[in-house]
Each structure stands twice: as C-alpha cells, then as structure tokens.
Chain A
Amino acid sequence: MGADFVQFSLTPLLIGVLAAIACALPGNFLILRRQALIGDAISHVVLPGIVVAFIITGTISAIPMLIGAAGAAVVAVILIEAVKRLGRIEPGAAMGVVFTSMFAGGVLILEQTDTSKVHIDVEHALMGNLESLIWFRAEGWHSLLDPAALATLPHELPRIAIVCAIVVVLTLVFWRWLKIATFDEGFAQVLGIPVSALGFGLVVTAAVAAVAAFDAVGSIIVIAMFICPPAAARLMTNSLEHQIWWSVAFATLSAILGYVFAGYGPLWLGATNAVSAAGMIATASGIILGLACLFGPHRMRIGVGKEPLG
C-alpha cells in the first residue's frame, strides 16, 4: 500500500467505485419501475453520441463527447417513447429498434470518418479502459496534499466525482417523489406530482451517470452496474431505504473486488498480464447477484412457495 498503490491503483479504484455508485442509485428505481433495460438502451447509444460529437467539433476533448453522449441518450429516450406511443409497440421492442439503429448509425459514421489520427476506438468505448487512468505524478500518499500533483489527477476522477455527487443529491431531494411515483403513479399524479417529467428526469440522470462512467468501464458494462447491485440489493431487504444502502455497498464491493482481481488475480495464478478491470467489475457484480439469488433473505416473491431451490 505504498507509492505504487497511489500511483497506479488509487485513481482507477476511486473512479470505479464512484462510477458504480452513480449507476446503482438510479438503477434501484429503474428496476422497481420495470425499466431496467433503459440502461441497456442508453449504454448502446453512447457510442453514436461521441462519434457525432467528434464529427461536429473535430476534437476528442472530454466535454463535447460527454454532451454528445448525453444528447444521444436523450434522443434515444424520446425516440423510444415516440415509437412506443405512435406505433403502439411494447417497450422492449421499441427500445430494441431504437438503440440498435442508432448504434448501427454510429458504427457506420465511424467507419466513414477518418479516425486514424484520433483515438475513437470502438472497442475502447465498448470495453472501457480503467487501468489507464493512473496518476503519473503521484509519489505516495503525501501527493494527496500536494497541489501540483493533484492538478495532474486524471480528469476522469473529478468528472465522475461531480456526477456521482449530483446523482446522490438528486436522489435525496426527489426521494419522496421517486418513491411514490414508482409505487403508485396514479396516486402521485393526483397529489400533483409531475410524474412524466420525473420519469424523464430519472432516465436523463441515468444517462448522465452512464456517460460519465463509460470512459472508465466501457458502455456495455455500465448495464451491469445499473442492474446487478440494485437487483442483488432488492433480494436482501424489503425496505426501499435499506435497499439503496445495500446497492451502494454492493456497487462499491463490485468495483473494489473487480479491480483487485483484474490487477492481481492473474499474478496470483501465475500469469503475467492483468485482465480487463471493467470486465472483472461486471463479473464481480454478477457473482454478488448470483449469491443474492441463492441466499438473499428476501429473494422470493411473497406468496411464492418457500421450497428449497432446486
């Protein structure tokens, strides 16, 4: 836990944990609203978003890319809603139509553009690259107090920290509205709560979290972060408040375990190269969910037989 840790592991670990939490919080509500797959749709349209942002601005700087990706997510959500309503198509199919078409468009534009000079790399966007977010100038724990070194922190860290903070604040502020509109939308409407705007806001928040997380963990694995920790948390408790805490704990645990296994696991097994940290984080969250499915105290639907699993 010395200088090497601070230099190579501290920032990717922090980024992983913050990304996991930022995704897990809205994920809780998406799951309860049976909208888990919105996360799927959002994560697939991140790629076309950044490609279009690149075409428009001609640069690969972070802010236009983030705006592009968030914009694509909003466009996707609107299109899904439009296809659902206009075509009277069930939500899953509407999502499938929209996000695959947008993804195909993104790949096509990417192939058509001369991207040899820049590094928009499809696989990179899909798989993430947590390991590369290291803190070059750090020389040990004391660098945390050194403004010069702090200035060289990978900019992904403050970005995901801000997004995570925003997600936390929004969850706290709109807690009551989210809870009642998720449980009983009609009643919420009668209370005068703007349920449609709230639902849209939730999806946009999820999109922003996905976008901020994707350059760390890649756009597909974001889906696992949206769904696995909250789903596992749902099986641990029957209280929404506790479920949120469990999901945060599971998200943190997934990020830490995943990162550690990815970095050190292969070495323990005698291999020389580390494996994808993002992939390992998703794997860890999946294992946690699997354990919750097998042993979670509240894994059963109430009223469903209590016979042992077979």
Chain B
Amino acid sequence: MAAQDGRVTYPAVASVSDAPLTVRGVTVSYGEKPAVFSVDASFPAKAMSAIIGPNGAGKSTLLKASLGVIPRLSGEVHVFGQPIEQARDRIAYVPQRASVDWDFPTTVVDVVQMGLYRKIGLLRRLSGQMKAWALECLDRVGMADFADRQIGQLSGGQQQRVFLARALAQDADLYLLDEPFAGVDAATERAIIDVLELLKAGGKALVSVHHDLSTVREYFDHVFLINVRRIAEGPVETAFTTENLQATYGGRLAATHLDELSLARGV
C-alpha cells in the first residue's frame, strides 16, 4: 500500500467490506465522558453475533449509534458495503422493550404492521397479502391468537415477541436486536431463539446486544466484547475466552461467573 516516497495510496473503493455490518471509529459521548470510544467492528454474514460487555459499557449505545438513533460524535457505518442510509431497507431492528410506552392505544397486529410502513409508504393501502404476512409473522413468534389484543395487556415476554414479529415483518437481511432476552420468561426465550435460528438458517445476519454470559456459547457464533472501547472480537471459540472476559469486565467479573463459564464450556 505504501509507495516508495512514503506516500500512502488506497484502492479506489476503500477497504469497506461487504460484511452485513461494519462500523469504523464510532465514538459516542454524553457530555465529556465517552460512552463508546473509537470502536471498529465487523459482524459476519449468516451468523448470530453478540455484543457483550458489562453494564454501562456502551453495548446498546453502539447499536443505537450505528443505526443513527443517537448521534455519533465521529465514525461511519456500512451495511452490506453501503452507507447505512442507503441500506435501510435491509435492516430490521428490535429495540429494547422498555424504550416505548406500552400504554399507547394500539393493538398487537397494528404494531407488527408498523414493520411494513417503510414498504407501503404514507398513503398506499395495506393489501390483503400484507395483512396476511403480518399475521404470519405473529404466528412465527407464537402470538397469532393475540393479534387483536391491546398491547398494554401483554406480559413482558409477549411484548418482546411482538417486537420480534415486527422485525420479521420488515423482511430484512440484517437483524439488530437490543437485549431481546432481557426480563423475558424461559418459554419466550426459547421461542425467540428458535425464530432467530431459523433466520440464521435462512442466510440472515443477526447482531444482538446480550448480557447473559452463560448462554453465549449456546446461542451465538461470533462475539464482540466492548467496554467503552473494543476489547476483542471473533468466533466464540477463539474470542470468548476467560482472558478477554477478564479484560472486558475487569474486577466486576466474579469468580463464580468464570466457574460457570468454564462449566458451560465443559472444561
């Protein structure tokens, strides 16, 4: 890359890969304290990736800043090799359950149909086919019988399933999920993971903010460890190591945690 005079040259299309999600130099700061600092990351295709780190380490912040939901101080984000603004049709997003007001006057199927709003624009009518599609998405998360329920009447796990169904309705290639398993019951966790496995099998890429270390090996193929800055990334087998976790969590990773993990690994 470096010519003889020390001049640095670059290929015409710079080294942005076609990976489902690539972030470069993303920094987010609330006030003067950086919440995410200068993070580079690349998430692989046809895989489930986890963003892992302690509380306040900037996991959700990284996800939201990548999507432009919160402003970045610096950095750029590419989706399948395109700037994210041009690839919005290929992204589906599952926000944190607690980020919305569940007292909003609307029904379950209404929320799922919101996933189609980009496709149908402002005025086009929702076709019968699209309505059927929304119901099918609800069925895939096991919520078809709740279609006409008011959203405030749902349990936490059911709310999470509705959000997942909405993302399914978006029919995207890259699914970004913000703590999809936080505060949900075991049955819901199972239902969600089944849906995500199916998506992966269908060739989709998934990136999820995750905080339960004990399930990482079981659910994910790829991990990204973050504590304000990037600590490590790679396939679970090579990157999800005690050393990297120690570096991510520092003194906060209790010894019992590590035991659990080595048990989970079958050591």
Which residues between 70 and 111 of chain B lie within 8 Å of chain A, taking CB atoms? 85, 88, 91, 93, 95, 99-101, 103-107, 111
A191 at the interface (CB under 8 A from B): yes
A273 at the interface (CB under 8 A from B): no
Which residue among A180, A187, A189, A234 has the maximum number of chain B CB atoms within 10 Å of its CB? A187
CB-CB under 8 A from A174, the residues of chain B are 122
User: Which of B61-69, B132-140, B206-214 forms part of the interface with chain A?
Assistant: B61-69
CA distance A180 to B111 in the complex (A): 8
A170-186 contacts to B, CB under 8 A, are 173-177, 179-180, 182-184, 186
The residue in chain B whose Cβ has the minimal distance to the Cβ of A301 is B103
Q: Which residue of A lies closest to B107 (CB)?
A: A239
Check: B241 CB closer than 8 A to any chain A CB. Answer: no
Give CA–CA (A146, B118) in the complex, Å: 49
CB distance from B70 to the nearest CB of A (A): 9
CB-CB under 8 A for A240 and B105, given A186-B69, A302-B152: yes
B104:A183 contact, CB within 8 angstroms: yes
Smallest Cβ distance from A80 to chain B, in angstroms?
20
Contact B114 A183 (CB under 8 A): yes
Q: Are B93 and A190 in contact (CB under 8 A)?
A: yes
Count A interface residues, CB 8 Å. 28
User: Please, how many angstroms separate the alpha-carbon atoms of A193 and B120 in the complex?
Assistant: 13
State whether the Cβ of A303 lies closer than 8 Å to any Cβ in chain B.
Answer: yes
Interface residues on chain B, number (Cβ under 8 Å): 28
A186 to B178, CA, bound (A): 11
Q: Which residues of B contact A301 (CB under 8 A)?
A: 103, 152
B242 at the interface (CB under 8 A from A): no
Q: How far is the CB of B176 from chain A (nearest CB, A)?
A: 8
Residue of A nearest to B64 (CB): A186
Alpha-carbon distance between A238 and B166 when the two chains are bound, in angstroms: 20
**Which of A180, A183, A242, A243 is within 8 Å of B101, CB to CB?**
A183
Given contacts A177-B122, A183-B111, A303-B152, contact A189 B67 (CB under 8 A): yes
Beyond A173-B122, A187-B95, is A180–B117 a contact (Cβ under 8 Å)?
yes
Q: What is the CB-to-nearest-CB distance from B101 to chain A, in angstroms, rounded to a whole number? A: 7
B20-51: CB near A (< 8 Å → 1, else 0) gives 00000000000000000000000000000000
Q: How far is the CA of A175 from the CA of B91 in the complex (A)?
A: 23
A87 lies within 8 A of chain B by Cβ: no
With contacts A302-B153, A303-B152 taken as known, whether A180 is within 8 angstroms of B114 at the C-beta atoms is: yes
**Min CB gap A22→B, angstroms:** 21
Tell me, yes or no, whether A275 is within 8 Å of chain B by CB. no
Instruction: Using A183-B101, A184-B114, A238-B106 as known contacts, list a sample of 6 further A-B pairs with CB atoms less than 8 Å apart, ordered by residue number in A.
Output: A186-B67, A187-B114, A189-B69, A190-B69, A192-B85, A240-B105
The 6 lowest CB-CB distance pairs between A and B, nearest first, are A302-B152, A190-B93, A238-B150, A192-B88, A191-B118, A186-B69
Residues of B with Cβ closer than 8 Å to A?
64, 67-69, 85, 88, 91, 93, 95, 99-101, 103-107, 111, 114, 117-118, 120, 122-123, 150, 152-153, 166
